[in-house]
């Protein structure tokens, strides 16, 4: 009887605490799973409901990618965040009630007992959607070792950002790319070491041919500037180098369009060496 009452009370408390948006419509929990495609002799079967990201690099590296949410996924994540906050707030209420009860039993002034501060939703540290949808590749389990390293990962379709390699993130400026269903999106990635101490990332679209992959399924990645990202892991920060025709930097901020697009007038660019005129 007591157990049943407790359950009913808990259910009532829960219903009071869950935000209205969550109570009205609870979005379906998103399934999140990725799979390494390792170096095996047999052909890769492309699942038409999945995407594949292929990262090529001259050396063995450990790239980190993150999926960006679409509007529906962002809304679902926000509901999860609110629910998590409601749970935390409920715990706080219980803790305060317990402290007050203890004081009452001890015949002490409850206001003199030190109580934890009330959680504030604006400061609630809940992991971002990107943190919860992270893809770790390498440095082992390469798909190919020919001409460097190639890593292949099966992922849910969507838009992904390049976040880091090892313990250095591209937090000061990165790019995103689409990974459509049934396709292998190929990109080239290599960390650099500049004499002045910076370690920016060279990233670009890649071509990739391998008898184990259907040639028509492999696409070069098409990049979009994705701005700065939080240093979620407290690691070294750097950025992606400007990509011609995609973006450059002005005072640390990404500006759409590339170096050549700004520096080279259109008539000259179309008649001469496309590389000429770059700074």
Alpha-carbon distance of 124 to 38, in angstroms, equals: 39
Helix (H), strand (E) at residue 204: strand 201-205
216-275 positions binding another protein, by CB under 8 A: 228, 230-239, 249, 251-252
Binding mask 187-206 for another protein (x = CB under 8 A): ---------xxx--------
Binding mask 88-107 for another protein (x = CB under 8 A): xx-xx---------------
137-176 positions binding another protein, by CB under 8 A: 171-173
CA angle 146, 136, 199 (to 5 degrees): 75
Packing angle of the helix pair 71-105, 2-17 (nearest 10 deg): 130
For residues 1 and 122, which CB has a smaller minimum distance to another protein in the complex?
122
Alpha-carbon distance of 20 to 78, in angstroms, equals: 12
For residues 3 and 120, which CB has a smaller minimum distance to another protein in the complex?
120
For residues 171 and 213, which CB has a smaller minimum distance to another protein in the complex?
171
Which tokens sit at 140?
Answer: 């082992």
Alpha-carbon distance of 27 to 134, in angstroms, equals: 21
110-139 positions binding another protein, by CB under 8 A: 114, 116-117, 119-120, 122-128, 131
Judged by CB under 8 A, does residue 14 bind another protein?
no
Judged by CB under 8 A, does residue 31 bind another protein?
no
Judged by CB under 8 A, does residue 77 bind another protein?
no
Q: Where are the beta strands (DSSP E) in the chain?
A: 35-37, 51-57, 63-68, 134-136, 149-155, 158-165, 168-169, 174-179, 184-191, 201-205, 218-220, 223-227, 236-237, 247-250, 253-256
Judged by CB under 8 A, does residue 6 bind another protein?
no
> Which residues would be at the binding site for another protein (CB under 8 A)?
84, 87-89, 91-92, 114, 116-117, 119-120, 122-128, 131, 171-173, 196-198, 228, 230-239, 249, 251-252
């Amino acid at each position: 009887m007591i157990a049943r009452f407790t359950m009913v009370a808990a259910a009532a408390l829960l219903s009071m605490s869950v935000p209205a948006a969550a109570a009205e419509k609870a979005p379906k929990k998103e399934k999140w799973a990725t799979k390494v495609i390792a170096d095996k002799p047999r052909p890769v079967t492309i699942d038409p409901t999945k995407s594949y990201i292929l990262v090529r690099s001259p050396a063995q590296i450990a790239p980190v990618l993150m999926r960006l949410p679409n509007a529906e996924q962002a809304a679902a994540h926000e509901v999860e965040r609110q629910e998590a906050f409601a749970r935390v707030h409920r715990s706080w209420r219980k803790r305060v009630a317990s402290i007050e009860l203890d004081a009452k039993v001890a015949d002490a002034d409850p206001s003199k007992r030190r109580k934890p501060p009330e959680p504030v939703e604006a400061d609630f540290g809940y992991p971002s959607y990107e943190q919860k949808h992270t893809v770790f590749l390498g440095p082992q389990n390469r798909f190919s070792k020919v001409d460097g390293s190639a890593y292949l990962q099966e992922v849910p379709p969507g838009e992904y950002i390049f976040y880091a390699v090892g313990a250095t993130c591209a937090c000061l400026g990165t790019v995103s790319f689409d990974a459509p269903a049934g396709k292998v999106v190929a990109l080239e990635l290599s960390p650099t070491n500049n004499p002045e101490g910076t370690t920016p990332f060279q990233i670009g679209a890649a071509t990739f041919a391998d008898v184990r992959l259907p040639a028509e399924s492999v696409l070069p990645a098409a990049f979009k500037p994705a701005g700065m990202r939080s240093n979620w892991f407290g690691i070294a920060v750097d950025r992606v180098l400007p990509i011609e025709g995609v973006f450059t930097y002005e005072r640390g901020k990404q500006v759409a369009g590339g170096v050549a697009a700004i520096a080279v007038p259109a008539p000259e660019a179309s008649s001469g060496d496309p590389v000429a005129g770059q700074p």
